[in-house]
Amino acid sequence: MNQEILNKYAQLLVHYCVELKAEEKLFISTTTLAEPLVREIYREATKLGAVMEVDFQFQDQSKIFYENASDFVLRQAPVLKKAAMQDFDAYIYIKAPYDLNETKGLDMKKKQLRSEALSGINKLYFERTADRSLPGALKRSLCQYPTPASAEAADMTLEEYGDFVFNACHLSAEDPAGQWLKVRKHQQHIKEYLDKVNIVRYKAHHTDVEFSVEGRTWINSDGQTNMPSGEVFSGPVENSVNGKVHFTYPSIYMGQDVKGITLWVEQGEVVKWKAEQGQALLDAVFEIPGAKFFGEVAIGTNYQIQRATRNILFDEKIGGTIHMAVGQSYKQTGGTNQSSIHWDMITDMTESGEIWADGELIYEKGKFLI
């Protein structure tokens, strides 16, 4: 891995993404594959005068857990993660998987039981990350370290995938943080326009869904909470979503591939669902409390990303797409839906897509008109 890029990445994450300060506490969660990046983050954080601790996951950890854990063990909330969500000032989660399908085929009831056990931590996480300007907030960032498994999923070599990740993060620029400040400025105009809108409609040859965002806040996702980013998102009024939405991009959820999802929605609730692949997982997810309602609606704006890689961190940001998430709302949007899951589903808008706001066409074939 290029040392200069690693240094830039660490500086971007520490200083721009989580805005770490002296005497603050930073918690890192990742796998042992990301050690080169963790080392540089540690160096940067320590020079700054911050305290940093790391939770490293090892190969096959989740698989071993689900194959062997009793119901008692499944119900126990992770002690370190709970402490971090309660007591730390900043949190960076580095995705660096050994195997994207590690938990495929394992007992869904065990996964659901584990999901319930994590619900309290997830609730605390969403509350503390809602607004980083508030006292006691948790500054967080989700990012990616290139691994062979992620490269294979994206149908790239490891070198190609590394270039893809770093390009999406603007790490080739002389001043990556400066590039993200430009993204912030551009998206702020879109955010301020949408904040004045009541009714939004996503329309394409495969989709026609409408929802209210009256009283809700749109968020300018400018690379601080996700790296990379490039999206604007909000939370729909929970009982206002109506119509049909088809998601053209595949995804991996709970270690399983899911493709061709179509949802039919009435008064906010998903009343019918179908997947071309992964129907059993979809059936199981909609048994989870809160999963039949939407927690997020969003528009991807990162035109540096123009291909799907089966990685939601990148795919949901693809310029020319929209996505909707079933499950947990983000508190900062004003959303109120609660669930132990948050599953983003993505659809292409570049061929026939339109977005209407209060009856006015504001977006066509993947581009804003405002």
Q: What is the pLDDT of residues 67-102, one digit of tens each?
A: 999 999 999 999 999 999 999 999 999 999 999 888
At 299, which amino acid appears? I
Where among 168, 195, 215 does a domain terminate? Answer: 168
Q: Which segment of 88-92, 103-107, 177-181 scores lowest on mean pLDDT? A: 103-107
| pLDDT value for 11 | 98
The whole model's pTM is what?
Answer: 0.86
Supply the range of the domain harboring residue 282. 176-368
> Residue 65: in which H helix or E strand, if any?
helix 61-68
Where among 168, 202, 236 does a domain terminate? Answer: 168
| pLDDT value for 149 | 96
Distance (Å, rounded) from C-alpha 282 to C-alpha 295?
A: 17
CB atoms within 10 A of CB 313: 21
Q: Looking at the structure, do residues 25 and 104 belong to the same domain, yes or no?
A: yes
Residue 3 has pLDDT above 80, yes or no: yes
Distance (Å, rounded) from C-alpha 148 to C-alpha 253?
A: 19
Domain count, the chain: 2
CB atoms within 10 A of CB 22: 10
Q: Looking at the structure, do residues 35 and 183 belong to the same domain, yes or no?
A: no
Q: Looking at the structure, do residues 155 and 187 belong to the same domain, yes or no?
A: no
Q: Looking at the structure, do residues 161 and 259 belong to the same domain, yes or no?
A: no
Structure tokens that stand for 76 in this block: 């126990």
Is the Cβ–Cβ distance between 229 and 317 less than 8 Å? Answer: yes
Distance (Å, rounded) from C-alpha 297 to C-alpha 263?
A: 14
Q: Looking at the structure, do residues 188 and 129 belong to the same domain, yes or no?
A: no
Residue 257 has pLDDT above 90, yes or no: no
Q: Looking at the structure, do residues 250 and 202 belong to the same domain, yes or no?
A: yes
Q: Looking at the structure, do residues 106 and 222 belong to the same domain, yes or no?
A: no
Q: Looking at the structure, do residues 314 and 352 belong to the same domain, yes or no?
A: yes
Q: Looking at the structure, do residues 199 and 62 belong to the same domain, yes or no?
A: no
Where among 141, 168, 195 does a domain terminate? Answer: 168
Using 50, 70 and 90 to split pLDDT, how confident is the model at 352?
very high
Q: Looking at the structure, do residues 319 and 197 belong to the same domain, yes or no?
A: yes
Is the Cβ–Cβ distance between 161 and 154 less than 8 Å? Answer: yes
Is the Cβ–Cβ distance between 363 and 299 less than 8 Å? Answer: yes
Residue 261 has pLDDT above 80, yes or no: yes
| pLDDT value for 53 | 97
| pLDDT value for 107 | 85
Here the CATH number for the domain that contains residue 114 is 3.40.1830.10
Q: Looking at the structure, do residues 156 and 183 belong to the same domain, yes or no?
A: no
Residue 251 has pLDDT above 90, yes or no: no
Q: Looking at the structure, do residues 106 and 67 belong to the same domain, yes or no?
A: yes
